[in-house]
Amino acid sequence: PKDSMQHFQVWRWVSHILMNFSFLALFSNLLWWVYVGGMIEKRLGSGKLFTIALISALLCGFAQSKFNGFWFGGLSGVDNALIAYAWLYAMRDTRSELNVPGGLMGMFVLWAVLEAVGVFGSNTGLASHITGLLVGLAMAFVDTRHKKS
């Protein structure tokens, strides 16, 4: 939302996941969505995928707008949430069929750290990326609190 008059137009908090500002961003975001989102949907159902995507889109959109204003777009915050969710879920429930290598999760965390210290020159997606990782971890923790093995 651009101003307080638009805060109750909920679609504005999630519409950023439908916009990307380059072909490379769109391609990589959709690649992660298909890879990790497909894995979650196949193993845990489309309802779980929708829930993770909706909650992370709302929270990532909120965080990104607070730190960088209303002009942003991309699915990367949701992708970060999916990766973090699948990784922690698999770690805490070894019977789970989710399989996300630790190195993949490490790559996403390293990307966020490099972005935070300014290696890429701009940290315009940092709030969304960090929020996505935290939301994914929190949701996986809640979903596996009785499944720890």
- What token pair was written down for 74? 């991309």
**Active site (annotated) includes residue 76:** yes
- What token pair was written down for 80? 């970060």
* Rounded Cα distance, 131 and 20, in Å: 18
Given the residues 4, 76, 128, 149, select the one marked as catalytic.
Answer: 76
**Active site (annotated) includes residue 16:** no
* Rounded Cα distance, 72 and 87, in Å: 27
Of the candidates 105, 126, 124, the one whose C-alpha atom is nearest the C-alpha of residue 116 is: 126
Q: How many CA atoms lie within 13 A of 124 on its CB side?
A: 9
Given the residues 28, 129, 146, 149, select the one marked as catalytic.
Answer: 129
Active site residues: 76, 129
